[in-house]
Amino acid sequence: MFKILYIYFLILQCFLCASKTNAEIINTNVERLLDLSSQLVKTTIKITAEETTGKPITEYVFLVADPNLAFISLKDDTEKNILLRKNKEDLNGDQTFTFTFKKASPTQTFVIETVSSKNIRPHPVEIEQNDKQLVKYNGSLYFYSKYKTRTQKTNVKLSSSNILFHTQQKPFSVGANRIILGPYEDIEALSQQELVVHYENQTPFLTVNTLERTIELSHWGNIAVKEEIQLTHAGAKLKGSFSRYDFQKEGRSDHSAVKSYKTYLPASASGVYYRDTNGNISTSNMNLVRDFIELELRPRFPLFGGWKTKYTLGYNVPSYEYMYNDGNKYQLKMHLIDHIYDNMVIDEAVIKIILPEGSTQIKFSTPYQISRRPNELVHTYLDTIGRPVVTFSKSNLVESHIADFTLNYSFEKVSLLQEPLLVSAFIYVIFLFTIVFLRLDFSITSHSHKE
């Protein structure tokens, strides 16, 4: 009898294991839009996934084999953000993300958006002054997934119709500046096949090597922002000498060399300055648009591939637009970074927030993961113990990272009297010293009266 029960138990276990094995998520349809029209690779992937056994899907694992991934976001079919969690790298070195759906369903439709940098490289790496810039993209022809895909299609958007070469995996079609690849059917999980596109791309390949952004708060109504930027043209390097005469004579608007670029400042910005190591740069134009200030920056010389420039940009904004308080509790909400130029790439950004002297109970939160550095003190005018400085850094930033951070701290309002009292005390000491000094007699002769 015991043997019979044991055999039934083994059969039941095998049945349960088979049921779990048959339960599988598959991608029924995948539509990819691959935007290669700038120096960034922007991917929009619409996925329809279903569970083969009809069980509701609560989580979905997304794989990224690209080491240069800068940004990822996820939305469902109602344009609402879905919670995503980054996991540890798997054995293949792939980045993995787990999506948790708010509403479980046997069929899920969602959109993944990613931005990658440094995946479009100049080819050839050197060109002469009047040559056109050609670039090469190497990526994946198929949607890289841990799940099987029934059908998928990829739409590649380029910056030019001048296409020298592309992977010709049938079916495909080419029209103007677009390549349509697929539909491809029954793609196995973890399938990879290289996609190569060699084409003309004259957009600026500007890279911010380092950004040092300093935000200095004052409870007297002002916030001072200063950015120190080192910029490099990461496109095809200039071969041979530079001729300014030929450059002015050519006058092409589609040239890969950068004459100027536009950066955006807050609409309330004032006292704007733009300078480098040689002094103030006057070749800039500032226009007030509806919600921001458009500042056209023109370096002292055009930037060709491999050329660098370094400059400082600063401005002031009123504190009431970004600071809120409830008694002695204060909150600051500002952008971590601002728009420097279109389709920007920042290799490394260091942000410093200088708080008023006497600030305590500092709490800091950001919309994405950053590297927090130890707090430090800095001494400015009329400081005694120094002002606390919150410092953090982040690498591989793009425009999608423009978002607000939140900084909470406590500050006793009576501390506002410190600087006026110090100034008053200093003036009082000067007057007192002057009075005493004028009443002292330093003469060496006697002033006794003659009789």
Q: Are residues 159 and 275 in the same domain?
A: no
Does 389 reside within a domain? yes
Range list of H helices, 256-314: none
Q: Are residues 186 and 223 in the same domain?
A: no
Residue 16 pLDDT: 42
Q: Are residues 120 and 258 in the same domain?
A: no
Q: Are residues 119 and 40 in the same domain?
A: yes
Does 84 reside within a domain? yes
Q: Are residues 185 and 224 in the same domain?
A: no
Residue 21 pLDDT: 40
Does 40 reside within a domain? yes
Count of helices and strands (H, E) across the chain: 3, 32
Q: Are residues 170 and 231 in the same domain?
A: no
With b meaning 16 or more CB within 10 Å and e meaning fewer, what string describes 319-355?
Answer: beebbeeeeeebebebbbbbebbebbbbbebbbbbbb
Segments in the chain below pLDDT 50? 2, 5, 9, 12, 14-22, 450-451
Does 347 reside within a domain? yes
Q: Are residues 192 and 263 in the same domain?
A: no
In terms of residue numbers, what domain contains 179?
25-200
The CATH number of the domain holding residue 44 is: 2.60.40.1730
Does 269 reside within a domain? yes
Cα–Cα distance, 149 to 24 (Å, whole number): 12
Residue 7 pLDDT: 52
Number of folded domains in the chain?
Answer: 2
Q: Are residues 148 and 211 in the same domain?
A: no
Residue 441 pLDDT: 75
Name every residue whose Cβ is closer than 8 Å to that of residue 28 and which is 6 or more positions away in sequence.
48, 49, 50, 107, 150, 151
Per 3-state DSSP, the chain is made up of helix, strand and coil in percentages (nearest 5) of 15, 50, 35
Name every residue whose Cβ is closer than 8 Å to that of residue 279 and which is 6 or more positions away in sequence.
none
Q: Are residues 336 and 369 in the same domain?
A: yes
Task: Give this prediction's pTM.
Answer: 0.86
**352 and 390 in contact (C-beta within 8 Å)?**
yes
The dihedral built from the CA positions of residue 275, 278, 280 and 285, taken in this order, carries a sign that is negative
| Tokens linked to 91 | 């054995």
Does a cis peptide bond (omega within 30 degrees of 0) precede residue 171?
yes
CA dist 373 → 262, 364, 429 (Å)? 31, 12, 41
Q: How is 53-80 classified by DSSP, letter by letter?
A: T-PPEEEEEEEE--TTEEEEEEEETTS-
Residue 76 pLDDT: 81
Q: Are residues 177 and 323 in the same domain?
A: no
Q: Are residues 38 and 122 in the same domain?
A: yes
| Tokens linked to 131 | 């040559």
Name every residue whose Cβ is closer than 8 Å to that of residue 147 and which is 6 or more positions away in sequence.
24, 25, 26, 27, 49, 189
Type of residue at 43: T
Does 12 reside within a domain? no
Q: Are residues 391 and 297 in the same domain?
A: yes
Does 447 reside within a domain? no
Cα–Cα distance, 264 to 291 (Å, whole number): 10
Type of residue at 103: K
Phi and psi based region of residue 199 (left: phi greater than 0; alpha: psi -120 to 50; beta: remaining):
beta
Q: Beta strands of 120-188 (E only): which ranges?
A: 120-122, 126-127, 134-140, 148-158, 163-166, 172-175, 178-187
Does a cis peptide bond (omega within 30 degrees of 0) precede residue 183?
yes
Residue 398 pLDDT: 96
Give residue for tokens 């990272």.
Answer: 401
Residue 414 pLDDT: 66
Does 446 reside within a domain? no
Phi and psi based region of residue 269 (left: phi greater than 0; alpha: psi -120 to 50; beta: remaining):
beta
